[in-house]
Amino acid sequence: MKRVLVFTTLVGAGLWCGGIRTWAAPKESQIKEFKKSDDLTFLRKAAGAGMAEVALGQLAAKHGHSERVRKFGQRMVDDHSKANKQLMEIARRKGMTFSAKMGATHQKLMDRLREKRGAAFDREFARHMVRDHKEAVALFKKQARHGKDADLRAFASRTLPTLEDHLKMARRLERHTEGSRR
C-alpha pair distances (Å), 119 with each of 68, 77, 132, 133: 12, 21, 20, 21
The enclosing H or E element of 122 equals helix 118-146
Return the pLDDT at 99: 72
Q: How far apart are the first and last CA of the chain?
A: 90
| Residue 149 to residue 34: CA distance in whole angstroms | 8
C-alpha pair distances (Å), 173 with each of 9, 51, 79, 118, 165: 65, 21, 17, 15, 12
pLDDT (tens digit, 0 to 9) for every residue of the chain, 182 residues total? 444 333 333 334 343 343 333 333 444 544 555 555 789 999 999 999 999 999 999 999 999 999 999 999 999 999 999 999 999 999 999 888 877 677 888 899 999 999 999 999 999 999 999 999 999 999 999 999 999 999 999 999 999 999 999 999 999 999 999 875 54
- Whole-model pTM above 0.85? no
Four-residue CA torsion sign, 103, 48, 137, 115: negative
Return the pLDDT at 98: 73
Return the pLDDT at 28: 53
Return the pLDDT at 6: 37
Return the pLDDT at 97: 80
| Residue 46 to residue 23: CA distance in whole angstroms | 28
| Residue 116 to residue 122: CA distance in whole angstroms | 9
Return the pLDDT at 103: 81
Q: Kindly state the DSSP code that residue 44 receives in the 8-state scheme.
A: H
Is 105 buried (19+), middle (13-18) or exposed (0-12) by CB count in 10 A?
A: exposed
Return the pLDDT at 9: 37
Return the pLDDT at 46: 94
